Amino acid sequence: MPNFGTVDTGAVPLIELWRGDILESLHRGHAVVMRDTGEIVESWGRPDALIYPRSSCKMVQALPLLETGAGRDLESTHLALACASHQGAAIHVTRVARWLGDLGLGESDLRCGCQAAEDIPERERLARAGETACQLHNNCSGKHAGFLTLNRHLGGDAEYVLPDHPVQMAVRAAFEEVTGLPSPGYGIDGCSAPNFATALSGLGLAMAQFAGASESGDARARAMVALRSAMMQHPELVAGEIRACTDLMRALNGRAAVKTGAEAVFVAILPQERLGIALKIVDGGVRAAEAAITALLIRHAGLDATHPVAQRYLGPQLNRRAIVTGAIRTAPGFV
């Protein structure tokens, strides 16, 4: 078992928030840029920091769905939802419900738990109809529909989120193979599924392998291409409107697949550059993670620093009267 660094040890300043001439907030973390050969191109902090990838690794969790042939009839919209942390909007809920229906299953077969819709129009629709949110509104319902599709193929029992269930054993095997590291353990994610820990560099290597995969490769490579392509084709399904993942993928227009995870994890897959990016902000601050991934996409994926999306996450901060109040900046030494 490799020696992993603790997440707080060796973290370095990555993102600053300035108000006037005073540094108001400072966010430390770790970041790594990797090639599919396993080479670390750049890093800040400790690449060996042990993290939970949380939802940033959903494309890895979806690999067995395609590698086993369970998802051979799925469309790109299904694959995007399998990788999604969505807002529970109508475009998400209706598609997941239809997916389950095609399996002869329903909302009650999910094990992700109920979650209030984050999408305001859907929340208002539920209120007008006197309805409550259900498991379909859970941001992970697409991932769980993928788990159920795989479970149908594997013949497992209904409790597919248990760590020793065939579904999760297949996920763990794929996770350890693409990260190149045995996982030291798991934590239970918000959607009840196990989330396997790894080094930040392991997560970066996994993303780099997704980036370097070719349709002429083996079953895993073809699965990686299908999943990254689905994310880039349907960014609105991966996240939702006014979300960093959607905004950044749209701004990059097919140059990157981008995915966040809870507690300020972010990854990016850059197929043209054959690079993978992974980062973790130690304090869990989402604002800082969004700024850090934006900075790395400017550096490595050709995102224009003056693009409105880039400026939204890394640049001047405006108040409700459009007055500049400060700026989010990269810390000295980061990119």
Return the CATH number at 86.
3.40.710
For the chain, how many structural domains are there in total? 1
Residue 335 lies in a domain: no
Residue 31 lies in a domain: yes
Type of residue at 204: G
Beta bridge partners of 268: 258, 277
Q: Give the helix ranges, DSSP H, for 68-119.
A: 76-82, 90-102
Residue 7 lies in a domain: no
Beta bridge partners of 35: 275
Residue 1 lies in a domain: no
pLDDT of residue 2: 84
Residue 2 lies in a domain: no
Residue 3 lies in a domain: no
Type of residue at 208: A
Residue 101 lies in a domain: yes
Structural domain range at position 135: 12-330
pLDDT of residue 242: 87
Residue 275 lies in a domain: yes
Ranges of the chain whose pLDDT falls below 70: none
